[in-house]
Structure 1
Amino acid sequence: MHKSILILGACGQIGTELTFALRELYGNDQVVASDIREGSESLMNSGPFELLDATNYAAIEDVVMYHEIEEVYLMAAMLSATAEKFPERAWNLNMNSLFNVLNLAKERKIEKVFWPSSIAVFGPNTPKDNTPQSTLMEPSTVYGISKQSGERWCSYYYHKFGVDVRSVRYPGLISWKTLPGGGTTDYAIEIYHEALNKGSYTCFLNEDAKLPMMFMDDAIRATIKLMDCNSDQLTVRSSYNLSAMSLSPADISASIKKRIPDFKISYDPDFRQTIAETWPRSIDDTKAKEDWGWEPQFNLENTTTEMLKNLPSQSF
């Protein structure tokens, strides 16, 4: 199938792996990676790359026109922990980049948009367990506020202008291929690095801070599956709940100890614990399963196996 795709934020945690996956599916030359900085050598050598500021409409439009882009994946964002330190910069990046892409689609310069939301859209008053697709959402973080606002704009542009925009609410993501990018669930990647390198880890969340998590391969698969399905299958145009497993630091530690018995973990919660306390413990993703056949493939045990097997061979 011929597709011409642009990825904004291709050098980030999700963007890097999404770039490789889409290039494998559609051909290296059909997927244009872009970011405000250059990425890894392997990413830069795998296909076309453009230095691009996602907040610059004219620059994005030029790249879209030059490469005859049909679909845009907007992965550029400032994540939860970093956004709390730079609120205005986070809002500017997270919102203006979305408006740029939605407006390009509104003008029919691109055909389809993927924009990621997050479990950060939920807040302290949201039901914590089996959080519904539609529920009370009062996010208390800069990142969550921007993502909830983005969901409303995606729905608005779809209903008002017919923009084909699609979205999932990512849980915390675990990957061995890229380093974490400033999120509240970064511990779930750091813990595997430290288990292998030091045999111990000091966690910035409490041991029982259970949060929705997902192995990156599942997240990439869900993203592409959603973008590939027929538009008339979709009943949610804000963002779909997405789930795989719910984990606490103690759960991951126990899984690691099965393979590294001497591993030690300690806890020193910081401001990210306060953020985590506002998020769900588990997610109801029935709508994603019903509408486009979503099913996760990774649980904690095969995630730990993949992380500990592959991290020693990875250099950053």
Structure 2
Amino acid sequence: MLRKPAALITGASGEIGHGLITRLADDGSRTIITLDLRPLEPELGRLVQHEFAGSILETNLLERILSEYEVDLVFHLAALLSTRSEFTPVTAHQVNVEGTMNLLEFAQKEGESHGRPVVFLYPSSIAAYGMPDLDTKARAGRVKEDDFNTPSTMYGCNKLYCEQLGRYYARHYKQLSAEPLAGKVDFRCIRFPGLISAVTVPSGGTSDFAPEMIHAAAQGEPYA
């Protein structure tokens, strides 16, 4: 008996995860499973078949998910954000790069197992860009995808590198093997600007002051 395909959402308790879970539940074509350090709010948890509590660095946990579900769609939202990454760059590399590598390898194994590519959605960031000074920024005008890919933050470095990792898994994975293994991961990526969180209050991002101000105003509280 064929298993119903599943969507895996890492970092599901954040703002994007809230919207994704609701949308996928309305669609109903996939089982929804999540992986996060924090539990979901009860009303969201009811829409999910299984909440896995843990880290994307726990490869044994990923192996368990691999054995129990047929995942054909991954939303990899888990990350250590920009401000926290500057204070703890080694930890940021572990979570943002090694964690992403674990998820890409997970998707590769899933793709090899059930014979079709796993769609891997990766939210990158405009932190992948970097300009040497404000004068250059003022002259640059509209910036293309491949322009100024010289990030100056750990978070930006992590995101840019993981974009390249995704391209490698999609197009060049183990390219010296006797049999072609690339194409099992359908990697898709978008560089987001700062996101305004309507439901959740974010933490750890450089631009978090904006949604924090909005949330405070909505509750009639001062913001300092």
SS in 2 for 1:115: strand
SS in 2 for 1:172: coil
Tell me the distance in 2 between the aligned counterparts of 1:62 and 1:185: 36
| Matching residue of 1:282 | none
Give the conservation status (yes or no) of the 8 Å contact 1:84–1:142: yes
SS in 2 for 1:104: helix
Tell me the distance in 2 between the aligned counterparts of 1:101 and 1:91: 14
What's the offset of the Cα at 1:200? 4.6
Q: Are residues 68 and 98 of structure 1, via their aligned partners in 2, closer, same or farther at CA, if it must alter by over 3 Å?
A: same
Equivalent position to 1:159, from 151, 156, 171: 171
Give the residue type in structure 2 aligned to 1:66.
Answer: E
Give the conservation status (yes or no) of the 8 Å contact 1:118–1:170: yes
| Matching residue of 1:96 | 98
Question: Structure 2 unaligned runs (5+)?
Answer: 173-181
| Matching residue of 1:243 | none
Give the residue type in structure 2 aligned to 1:155.
Answer: R
Tell me the distance in 2 between the aligned counterparts of 1:121 and 1:129: 17
What's the offset of the Cα at 1:201? 3.6
Corresponding position: 1:47 with 2:48: yes
Equivalent position to 1:121, from 108, 116, 128: 128
Q: Are residues 4 and 129 of structure 1, via their aligned partners in 2, closer, same or farther at CA, if it must alter by over 3 Å?
A: same
Give the residue type in structure 2 aligned to 1:169.
Answer: R
Corresponding position: 1:36 with 2:37: yes
Corresponding position: 1:179 with 2:186: no
| Matching residue of 1:189 | 211
What's the offset of the Cα at 1:198? 4.3
| Matching residue of 1:86 | 88
Moved over 4 A (4+): none
Q: TM-score, normalised by structure 2?
A: 0.81
Give the residue type in structure 2 aligned to 1:112.
Answer: V
Deviations 1:228-275 (A, max 9, x none): xxxxxxxxxxxxxxxxxxxxxxxxxxxxxxxxxxxxxxxxxxxxxxxx
Q: CA RMSD in A?
A: 2.1
Tell me the distance in 1 between the aligned counterparts of 2:44 and 2:187: 26
What's the offset of the Cα at 1:37? 2.3
Give the conservation status (yes or no) of the 8 Å contact 2:15–2:198: no
Percent identity for Structure 1 against Structure 2: 31
Question: Structure 1 unaligned runs (5+)?
Answer: 203-316
| Matching residue of 1:57 | 59
Equivalent position to 1:130, from 139, 142, 167: 142
What's the offset of the Cα at 1:74? 0.9
SS in 2 for 1:140: coil
Give the conservation status (yes or no) of the 8 Å contact 1:70–1:111: yes
Give the conservation status (yes or no) of the 8 Å contact 1:80–1:142: yes
